[in-house]
Structure 1
Amino acid sequence: MGTRYKLVFFAPAASIEAIKKAIFAAGAGQHDGYTECCFTTPGTGQFVAGQMANPAIGRRGILEMVEEVRCETSCVGSYTTKRVVEALKNLEAHPYEVPVYEVIKLEDF
């Protein structure tokens, strides 16, 4: 088995299914014979888009509150993980100009 990583990202609730479809197609969420594995948690995100931003949601200079979903999934291997992150950043799937995500290297015990 290759090096395992956990991908955590945040997205508007209305976009989460399209994003999951894109990252699963790129190889995320595969674990011991299972596919499309992830865990999601609802929450509220907030931001103020600056004057140079091009927000997909809201307007520049205005505090925006968005019902979002935190999604966690796993990836095996750095090549697959990079492909999954590229799929996440694709604006056809994720509406945010700059998607928020974390990649965490996992250890086997």
Structure 2
Amino acid sequence: MADRSLYKLTVFIPETHLEQVKQAMFAAGGGVIGNYDNCSWQVKGQGQFRALPGSSAFIGELNELAVVDEYRVELVVEKSRIKAVIAALKSAHPYETPAFDVLEVISEF
């Protein structure tokens, strides 16, 4: 029997690249729930950061606090696709270091 373990991937995406990053993750196999694909949940908020020396910031200036409209996007990913989905996220995301996390989902009790 195939391992059907699931992960929930959460990523923060600037408004300008929202659809581009989501579509890359979907194309890599993320966001599939049963007989549905392109499944995600998103909410708009603000992220903040300060670019430090040695960074190559997409938005903001060196040593200055930047506040950016971003979306928090969540989607489920099968274990067999998680590495490909993360690679697609990193490839499509404009930030030098995208903020994301991955949690294992317990789907059976």
Q: Structure 2-normalised TM-score? A: 0.94
The SS at the match of 1:87 is helix
Alignment of 1:24 onto 2:23: no
* % identical aligned pairs: 38
Alignment of 1:54-69 (within 5 A): 54-69=56-71
- 1:43-97 Cα offsets, whole Å, 9 max, x none, are 00000000110001111111100000000000012x301100010111xx21100
Alignment of 1:85 onto 2:86: yes
The SS at the match of 2:72 is strand
Runs of 4+ in 1 over 6 A off after TM superposition: none
Find the aligned partners of 1:106 and 1:30 in 2 and give their Cα distance: 14
Alignment of 1:28-107 (within 5 A): 28-77=30-79, 79-90=80-91, 93-107=92-106
The SS at the match of 1:65 is strand
- 1:83 aligned partner, one-letter code: A
Ranges in structure 1 where 5+ consecutive residues have no aligned partner: none
| C-alpha RMSD of the superposition | 0.9
The SS at the match of 1:24 is helix
* Shift of residue 6, structure 1, vs aligned partner: 0.3
Q: How many residues align?
A: 106
Ranges in structure 2 where 5+ consecutive residues have no aligned partner: none
The SS at the match of 2:62 is coil
* Shift of residue 2, structure 1, vs aligned partner: 0.8
- 1:8-32 Cα offsets, whole Å, 9 max, x none, are 0001011110000100000000011
Q: Structure 1-normalised TM-score? A: 0.94
